[in-house]
Amino acid sequence: MSRFEDVFGSAPEAQADAPGRVNLLGEHTDYNDGFVLPIAIAQQTHVAMRRAGGPAFSLHAAELGEAVRFTLDRAPAAHFASYVFGCLALARAQGADIPPLDIHVASDVPIGVGLSSSAALEVATLRCLRALLGLAMDDVQIAQLAQRAEIEYAGVRCGIMDQMASSLADTTRALLLDTRSLERRFVPLPAGSGVLVLDSGIARSLAASGYNQRRAECEEAARLLGVASLRDVEGIGQLAGLPDLLQRRARHVVSENARVLQAVDCAGPEDFGRLMNASHASLRDDYEVSTPGLDTLVALLQAQAGVFGARLTGAGFGGACVALCRAGAEREVAGAVLAAYAQAGGAGRQLVPPGG
Ligand code: GLA
């Protein structure tokens, strides 16, 4: 894997890291002003920068083996570059004086599985820019700018969970975040439990796959209910007058918000796991963002003695599943489940703990 020095000949002036995240509970709630409960993962994206000699930016992505040259006047065509370009362009629009840069990106955050590789890239880029230019941006402002980069330059009308998690979470405690007020606190994992993440091997495409459509459905439901967002719905009973499809979408959001708050108060890993199982059922039946492959993998996880609960994680439509396991049982569970999944025709892999 290349380093900055290998590509650009000498050392960078600034470097920064940002982690991916896995969401434990609170799916598709963030763009409804609701509650989420992500935790950072060990895999990180590393960005290094130096002022360039010439008039253009050079961006090199080690894993992709791709290099792109651009100026801030025109967005580069390469998709991965749009995240970096978006961060640079928005920072400039906020008044930062950004000289042409040599930029190197190296990452072990799995791409396209729902572990926020794009947020990690955005947050690491902005952290590196802050370090290089001495910008006055705190971690919340970095998350907010990163979210705008994703919406305005990558075309996904995402909420703020991923960028807040990458910017503020750590790997030892979950981050309970109120996405409306951005109030937050760290919450320990239930005693005696650990996190396992498996990739289903099913490819997923966020923008094309109906994410933006789900968001539009939620906005329509809120409009019909006369509330600013589905966060403001007080109970399922309030949804009765909605057309069937919107009722199911809204029921997922309202019940999922309640599950996050219950999980934070819950006594132990068994209760937490039950809430994760209920979340999966709701994502599958009401929100319709699961796939048969994800359902198979989740069912295999849920059937293991060492698993308290399991669900798809991230936007859905493919990608990864998360399970809460008995602490220390993660690798054994992964081995058994991946073997059974392979027998059922799937091709999964262990993502967290890394190196499985
Ligand atoms: C993606 C988005 C997040 C969030 C999740 C679903 O990861 O980027 O904002 O909406 O999907 O919970």
Angstrom distance (rounded) from CA 84 to CA 75:
10
Give the E-state strand segments of the chain in sequence order.
Answer: 14-23, 35-36, 38-51, 57-61, 66-70, 101-107, 173-178, 184-188, 193-199, 307-312, 320-326, 349-352
Residue 43: per-residue pLDDT? 98
| Nearest Cα residue to 308 out of 322, 324, 296, 292 | 324
Å from CA of 257 to ligand 1 middle: 14
Residue 90: per-residue pLDDT? 98
- Is the CB of residue 33 below 6 angstroms from any atom belonging to ligand 1? no
Å from CA of 216 to ligand 1 middle: 14
Average pLDDT over residues 160-166: 98
Q: What is the mean pLDDT of the chain?
A: 96
Residue 206: per-residue pLDDT? 56
Residue 64: per-residue pLDDT? 84
State whether the Cα torsion 336-340-342-343 is positive or negative: positive
- Is the CB of residue 314 below 6 angstroms from any atom belonging to ligand 1? yes
Å from CA of 144 to ligand 1 middle: 14
- Is the CB of residue 162 below 6 angstroms from any atom belonging to ligand 1? yes
Q: Is 162 marked active-site?
A: yes
Residues above pLDDT 70, as percent of the chain: 99
Whose CA is closest to atom 8 on ligand 1?
Answer: 158
Which pTM value belongs to this model?
0.97
Catalytic residue among 30, 102, 162, 199: 162
| Nearest Cα residue to 168 out of 351, 18, 354, 330 | 18
Predicted confidence (pLDDT) per residue in 316-330, tens digit: 999 999 999 999 999
pLDDT at 205 over 70: no
344: DSSP letter: T
Predicted confidence (pLDDT) per residue in 209-236, tens digit: 789 999 999 999 999 999 999 999 999 9
Contact 319, 226 (CB under 8 A): no
Cis peptide before 353 (omega within 30 of 0): yes
Residue 156: per-residue pLDDT? 85
Average pLDDT over residues 120-149: 98
Average pLDDT over residues 45-63: 95
Predicted confidence (pLDDT) per residue in 271-289, tens digit: 999 999 999 999 999 999 9
Å from CA of 3 to ligand 1 middle: 31
- 3-class SS of residue 225: helix
More confident residue, 243 or 64: 243
pLDDT at 2 over 60: yes
